[in-house]
Amino acid sequence: MLAVQQLEAGYGESVILRQVTLQVKPGQVVCLLGRNGVGKTTLMKSIMGVLKARRGTVTFKGNDLTKRPPGERAKKGIGYVPQGREIFPQLTVFENVLLGLEAAKGKKRHLAIPESAIAKFPVLPAMYDRRGGDLSGGQQQQLAFARALAAGPELLLLDEPCEGIQPSIVEDIRDVIRSIKSGGEMSILLAEQSLEFVKSVGDYFYIIEKGSIAWEGGLSDLNDEVIRHYLTV
């Protein structure tokens, strides 16, 4: 579904990612692990197109998207929940969710917000008239999720969705990811620090170190030795 080949990307002069190759299969939850500053967010941004790739390719459903702008990638079916949530602060919650429909194809974008996007976040409709910037971090995270789900993406990029979020909402997010997974229609690429969290939802794991994939494997391969070697500080 998503294939990243030999990707190289960075900011200005500095190169952050080197020769990153990974893939996400349909219906799979793939997790990116790694210590702070190894390039997880940079990789997410390059897949979304916010950062231009210096070398390598990003292919989604057989289409080469390497040179395409973020908007086109969104329309092709990639939903993005960025680190820091990036809610539009002066827009109402409702408007924020409506903007998620921009990526939906054709006439669908003028229809109402799909039930499926909101059903997972029952707290949102009660806050529709409040401004996005006035919500708490956890509420904003749920809003960012609903916004990304509104267009019905086939691949969801989740960049540290549990960062700085209270435990009960982390549980909600875990449930959402699980229900998406059991639906089987959406793949997820998840970057997350919490090992416990990714182990509970992930199918396949990549560990990044110094901008390259240092290890990859399934849940059973992710043993204590691997964790000690790559992830403990």
Partner 1 sequence: MDVVVLQLFNGISVSSILLLIALGLSITFGLMKVINMAHGELIMIGAYTAYVVQNLFTSYMPASLFGWYFVLAIPASFIVAFLFGLVLEMGLIRFLYGRPLDSLLATWGVGLMLQQIARSIFGAPNVGVTSPEWLNGGMTVLGDVVLPYKRLFILGLVLVCLFLMYVYIYRSHSGRRMRAVMQNREMAACLGISTRRVDAVTFAIGSGIAGIAGCALTLIGPIGPSIGTYYIVDAFMVVVLGGVGKLVGTVFGAVGIGLSNTLFEYWTTASLGKVLVFLCIVAFLQWKPSGLVAMRSRSLDN
Minimum distance of partner 1 from residue 103's CB (angstroms):
3
Candidate residues 133, 164, 184, 217; the one interacting with partner 1 per rule CB under 8 A = 133
For residue 85, which of 163, 171, 190 has the smallest C-alpha distance?
163
Q: Is residue 80 involved in binding partner 1 (CB under 8 A)?
A: yes
Candidate residues 30, 43, 48, 180; the one interacting with partner 1 per rule CB under 8 A = 48
Q: Is residue 114 involved in binding partner 1 (CB under 8 A)?
A: no
Q: 90 or 223, CB closer to partner 1? A: 90
Q: Is residue 74 involved in binding partner 1 (CB under 8 A)?
A: yes
- Window contacting partner 1 (CB under 8 A); options: 19-27, 48-56, 166-174, 190-198: 48-56
List residues near partner 1 by CB under 8 A: 48-50, 69-72, 74-75, 80, 82, 86-91, 95, 98-100, 102-103, 110, 131-135, 147, 151
